[in-house]
With several copies, the nearest count.
Chain A
Amino acid sequence: MSAPLERALEAALFAAEEPISIDSLSEMLGGAAKEDIRESLSHLVGHYEERGIHLVTRGGRWHFETAPDLAHLLRREREQQRKLSRAATEVLAIVAYHEPVSRAEIEAIRGVQTSGGTLDVLMEAGWVRIAGRREVPGRPTIYATTPEFLDHFGLFSRKDLPGLNELRAAGLLDPVEEAFEALMGDGEDDPGSGTGDSAD
């Protein structure tokens, strides 16, 4: 017999059409204490851990999904997702690991112009959004990922991006110019390119 709050959370998360934040859960359950909700959710996570469905949290929002190891039973041919082009996957990765990022910055990394369609596809998929403008000359639009991105790729949060820490530690998320100067040492009298807004 599970506690009333757990039952209520189970039902709400089961019935929900999209992931729900703890705030919304609290509101839905007549203002239940968020602490209690958190505790019940972690109970539920434990309860479902070895079952066919899992309770997961992505970017602070919660949902049930099937256990990944059962994918083969559930995959349906008719529902093949539209595959992303390689360009789109690269752009998505660049946005995710560098966000917020401007198109010029994306292009500097990829060495090619990014067709407008690529970002559109990612925005249409709901994974990338416009995150404002960078306050530099030209005020370029900058892009970032969405909560749905975390949902879709099963990421607890952006920190959960695979290899993020290693990439950061290796300086691979820094612009070329910054990395270049770091390598050449500060012996040079080159003032450097400052903001590192974009390589090349």
Chain B
Amino acid sequence: MNDGTLLHSSGDISLDEWNGVAVATQTDDSALYLELDGWAGPLDLLLDLARRQKVDLRSISILALVDQYLDYIEQAEALKLELAADYLVMAAWLAYLKSALLLPKDEQEEPSAEELALRLQLRLQRLGAMREAAARLMARDRIGRDVFLRGAPEGLEIARRTRWRCDQFALIEAYGRVKARTAPAVHMVRERPVMTLESAISRVSAMLGVTLEWRQLEDFLPPHADPQLRRSALASSFVAALELARLGKAELDQDEVFGPLRLRRPQ
């Protein structure tokens, strides 16, 4: 069973008309459901029926259309087809519309049956227009069916290329940085600074001020780990001690040759 047995036997509406449109697939299961067979709902069915009147949708007879629809539904029920509820709702509404249309005008309720019929007609026109438009659209020269694009386009490749920025100075500076960072030659720093005589004098005299005891010269040296600087400090402090002794600000004492040199504040 398919839609053809009911409607298309009369043959004036062929689904072939729908160029490029698939007929809803017809499986045995779907045969029981009208809406799956050919019509997308009652309005769609009505439109098909209306078209069978072979007149412009603007001049269809709504009364005739209602009869056709109700006949159709009756036939379907006789064949024990299971109809979707909205087809039956539409049938009931159309039956009401028909009876209203048959009433004399002054007995009609608001909105009048004519108005209801007009609305229905307008809806059918709109659906009809879109169906036709769909068919015309599908019939156009379509890519992949009627016209073809280049089979193997080379493609427009947009290679994102990075342009690296770097200038001469940055380059040379970088080399300097590397050399400065790693080359052992970089240790050729200037001579270690010495402890000046002035600072030795001020340091030694300041320290003599806080003690009366004899103290070894080494005790007056600043606490440096660096042996080179220490030696310089020793020399400066020795000269400072001699100078302070000459000025009478210190007393020097040495017990033996090369023995420890001691000094203290004059008593």
Q: Judge A-B direct contact (beta carbons within 8 Å).
A: yes
A interface residue numbers (CB < 8 A to B):
11-12, 14-18, 20, 28, 54, 63-68, 71, 73-90, 92-94, 96-97, 109-112, 121, 124-125, 127, 151-155, 161-164, 167, 170, 172-177, 179-180, 183-184, 189-190, 199-200
Bound together, the chains give a CA A63 to CA B43 distance in angstroms of: 41
B133 pairs with A97, CB closer than 8 A: yes
What are 29 of the A-B contact pairs (CB < 8 Å)? A14-B151, A15-B153, A17-B151, A20-B156, A64-B150, A65-B143, A75-B157, A76-B158, A78-B158, A81-B163, A83-B166, A84-B21, A84-B164, A86-B21, A86-B134, A89-B137, A90-B134, A90-B178, A92-B137, A92-B174, A93-B131, A111-B181, A112-B40, A153-B167, A172-B129, A172-B176, A175-B176, A175-B177, A176-B180
Q: Which residues of B contact A125 (CB under 8 A)?
A: 162-164
Residues A15 and B181 in contact in the complex (CB < 8 Å), given A84-B138, A97-B175, A154-B168: no
Question: What is the CA–CA distance of A93 and B169 in the complex, to the nearest angstrom?
Answer: 11
Nearest neighbor of B46 in chain A, beta-carbon distance = A111
Residues on B with C-beta less than 8 A from A76 are 156-159
Q: Are A11 and B180 in contact (CB under 8 A)?
A: no
Question: In the complex, what residues of B have CB within 8 A of residue A111's CB?
Answer: 41-44, 123, 127, 178, 181-182
Q: Which B6-27 residues have C-beta < 8 A from chain A?
A: 18, 20-24
Contact assessment for B133 and A177 in the assembled complex, using a CB-CB cutoff below 8 Å: no
CA distance A80 to B162 in the complex (A): 5
- Complex Cα distance, B238 from A54, in Å, reads 98
Question: Which residue on chain A has the smallest CB distance to residue B157?
Answer: A75
B115: Cβ under 8 A from any A Cβ: yes
B186 partner residues in chain A, CB cutoff 8 A: 173, 176-177
Q: Give the CA-CA distance A73 to B163 in the complex, in Å.
A: 19
Q: In the bound complex, what is the Cα–Cα distance between A183 and B58 (angstroms)? A: 12
CB within 8 Å for A28 and B156 given contacts A11-B148, A94-B178: yes
B residues 102-148 in Cβ contact with A at 8 Å = 115, 118-119, 122-123, 125-127, 129-138, 140-148
Contacts of A153 in B (CB 8 A): 137, 140, 142, 166-168, 171
Query: Which of chain B's residues has its CB closest to A85's CB?
Result: B22
Interface residue tally on B, bucketed by range: 35 or more
Q: Which of A68, A82, A110, A183 contacts B164 (CB 8 A)?
A: A82
What's the nearest-Cβ distance from chain B to residue A108, in Å? 8
Residues of A within 8 A of B229 (CB): 189
Q: Please, how many angstroms separate the alpha-carbon atoms of A88 and B148 in the complex?
A: 23
Best-buried of A63, A64, A173 by chain B (most CB within 10 Å) = A173
Which A residues are in CB contact (< 8 Å) with B231? none
A112 surroundings in chain B (CB, below 8 A): 40-41, 43-44, 86
Q: A11-B148, A90-B40 are in contact. Are A79 and B162 (CB under 8 A)?
A: yes
